Structure 1
Amino acid sequence: MKSEVGDPQMGIKRRPNDELDDLTQVTSALLNCLSDNTLKKILKDILVSLQSVVLNGSGLTEKSCAVLASALSSENSALTELDLSNNYLKDSGVKKLCEGLKSENCKLLKLKLFGCSLKEEDCVELASVLSSENSTLRELDLSQNELKNPGMKKLCEGLKSPNCKLEILRLEEVYFRVEGCIYIVEALKSNPSSQLKELNLNHNEQRDIAVKELSELLKDPRCKLENLQLRYCDITDKGCAALASALKSNPSSQLRELNLKNNQPGESDKKELYDLLKDPRCKLKKLERGRLGQTRRGWSSRAVVPLLAGLMLRLRAGTRLPLVIGRKEASRLAVDGGALGGPFDGRLFTDQCVALVRCWSSVASGPNRSHSAGEV
Structure 2
Amino acid sequence: MRLKDLTEEVYKCIRCGWCREKICPIREELGFESTYARGIVLTARGLLEKQLNYSSALANRMYLCLECANCMEHCPLDVDVVGIMNAMRQDLVKAGLAPEVFRQVDRHVESTKNPLGIERNEMVKWSEDLGLARKGEVLFFVGCYPSYKFPKTARATVRILRQAGIDVAYLAEEEWCCGTAQYMDGSAALAQRLMVHNLEKIEDSGAEKVVTTCAGCYTSLKHEYPKRIGELSFQVLHITELLEDLINEGKIDFKNEIKKRVTYHDPCHLGRHSGLYDEPRKILNHIPGLELVEMSRNRENTRCCGGEIVLNTVFPELGKRLPEIRVDEAANLGVKDLITSCPLCVSNLRIPARKRRIKLYDLPLLVAESMGVSGK
Tell me the TM-score normalized by structure 1: 0.23
Larger RCO (CA within 8 A; separation ≥ 6) = 2
More helix by share: 2
Tell me the TM-score normalized by structure 2: 0.23
User: Computing the radius of gyration over CA atoms, which structure comes out larger, 1 or 2?
Assistant: 1
